[in-house]
A and B are shown apart, each in its own frame.
Chain A
Amino acid sequence: MSGEPLVATPGQTIGPFFGFALPHEGSEQLVPPGHLNAVRLTGLVLDGHGDPVPDAMIEIWQADADGRIEPCPGSLHRDGYTFTGWGRAATDNTGRYSFTTVRPAPTNEGKLPFFAIAVFARGLTNRLFTRAYLFASPDAIAADPLLGSLPADRRRTLIVTEDGDELRFDVRLQGEEETVFLAFPGDTP
């Protein structure tokens, strides 16, 4: 590639008024609620005072229950059968988001499965990325490039707590229990 690389377009806050535009019917249902392996991925988005953020939006992107990543169209008009791997949910008045989905399986042997997560909110000038890992053994956690590099109290913010078919993952934008947010190579401030 010749020439100077182009500079990325800056982000801006999603603002308060996305609700009539971005979330759509079924956008939070990666599988129908009655699906055999359906689980609920849910949690609160909280600010630095621990107060709920009622105008946030969460997007998830994940492998399926067999660890496959096969990007398929259809997320905006779901057919009830095709697993697209992507979902979008706005938080409600209590700061809660919720998805109906399946547990992702490892995409490669030895890799821990996780939900890739993007967080948007009024008052958040740019999207934040994080990961929600499924429960894993201490050995597997230690071997993971991300989890293994974090002290235990920070690592905890990236692992879902499981209660039957409910996977709980809170997003704390700020404070003592602040979620670990990610920067990738090439990201500039």
Chain B
Amino acid sequence: MLEESTVDDAIEPGPLAGSDLASDSQAAISAEIMEIRRQYSEAATEETQPRLDYPPYRSTILRHPTKDLHHIDPETIELTAPAFGQRDVDVLEADLTIQASGDPIGERIIVTGRVLDGGGKPLAGHLVEIWQANAAGRYIHKRDQHHAPIDPNFTGVGRCLTDSDGSYWFRTIKPGPYPWRNHYNAWRPAHIHFSVFGRQFISRLITQMYFPGDPLFDLDPIYQSIRDQRARDRLVATYDHEVTSHEENTGYRWDIVLTGSRNTWMEPEDRE
């Protein structure tokens, strides 16, 4: 599991050859973020997804398509999705606190919620994968150079299948924020990466779940690449005392909506 070949933001020189992007200050990045926010509020539209072209997140500069996405109806294979089952996922993979002989260090939490389609119907038996940093903000990844300790009892990787009511459940450790080299003194808000499959290939989602009240939200160009505040809020879990359990762990709730093509969840009379 631990062999790895990807390059991380922490050591990459940056997308603009020759420029020392990590020298940009947080104030400069924040000013760019605020200017884009101002333009967005003037446009009076409502976006629900991130901008592919979001220059404050420097690595987008050479990696976003510059031509318009081509609008097309999904067909054949795209209207179906890969299936996953008990063969693929062991039930123990949902508990990230029991993957080694000892207890991982940090605040033990439960993260749970439902995976729903655009009509609010639960998606049962769908694969949910997560990965995250440990309590100190360090990933088990050989290119993660952050000089925070690795926890020998924590991999930060989990999987589960949703139940009949579409619910997923993970027990894990609350991840720490960590530094990256988008600009000088850049820190990511604490987050858990989520990967989810819907009923159709075109529902495929990879995203990040955040924790309520993080002071780094306004400073983070990845989170802010979603220009709409309501859409950003959809990535923030809610603290739920009903999920918190006595002397065991605190609890967070976060639902995921995968819309895909409307025809899969609209009743016939509602179809356009």
Name A's B-contacting residues (CB within 8 A). 1, 3, 5-22, 24, 47-49, 51, 53-55, 59, 61-63, 69, 71-77, 84-86, 90-93, 104, 107-108, 111, 114, 116, 118, 120-129, 145-146, 149-150, 173-175, 178-189
Contacts and interface: CB of A to CB of B under 8 A. Distances in A.
8 contacts: A6-B116, A16-B9, A61-B82, A84-B83, A93-B7, A123-B61, A124-B64, A174-B65
A189 B258 CA distance: 15
B70 interface: yes
Interface string B203-218: 0111110000000000
A16 B49 CA distance: 20
B144 interface: yes
Nearest to A79: B87
B8 interface: yes
A11 B49 contact: yes
A188 to B, nearest CB: 5
Nearest to A62: B77
Q: Which of B4, B47, B83, B85 is the most central at the interface, judged by chain A CB atoms within 10 Å of its CB?
A: B83
A5 B62 contact: no
A125 B60 contact: yes
A126 B52 contact: yes
Contact of A1 (B77, B207, B235, B266): B266
Interface of B: 1-2, 4-10, 15, 17, 47-52, 54, 57, 59-67, 69-78, 80-89, 116-120, 129-131, 133, 139-141, 143-144, 155-157, 159, 193, 195, 201-202, 204-208, 222-223, 225-226, 231-232, 234-235, 255-262, 265-267, 270
Nearest to B10: A16
Contact of A123 (B48, B59, B72, B120): B59
B236 to A, nearest CB: 11
A63 B82 CA distance: 11
Ordered nearest first, which 5 A-B pairs have the shortest CB separation?
A: A123-B59, A73-B85, A21-B131, A86-B82, A71-B83
B193 A178 contact: no
B50 A10 contact: yes
B88 A20 contact: no
Contacts of A127: 204-206
A186 B205 CA distance: 14
Contacts of B141: 16-17, 19-20
B136 to A, nearest CB: 14
A90 B5 CA distance: 9
A59 B81 CA distance: 12
Q: Which of A10, A20, A114 is the most central at the interface, judged by chain B CB atoms within 10 Å of its CB?
A: A10
Nearest to B262: A186
B48 A74 contact: no
A9 B226 CA distance: 11
A16 B7 contact: yes
B242 to A, nearest CB: 22
A127 B78 CA distance: 15
B2 A11 contact: no
Contact of A126 (B49, B84, B86, B195): B49
A94 B73 CA distance: 34
B76 A111 contact: yes
Q: Which of A16, A77, A127, A174 is the most central at the interface, judged by chain B CB atoms within 10 Å of its CB?
A: A16
A75 B83 CA distance: 8
Given A9-B234, A17-B131, A185 B73 contact: yes
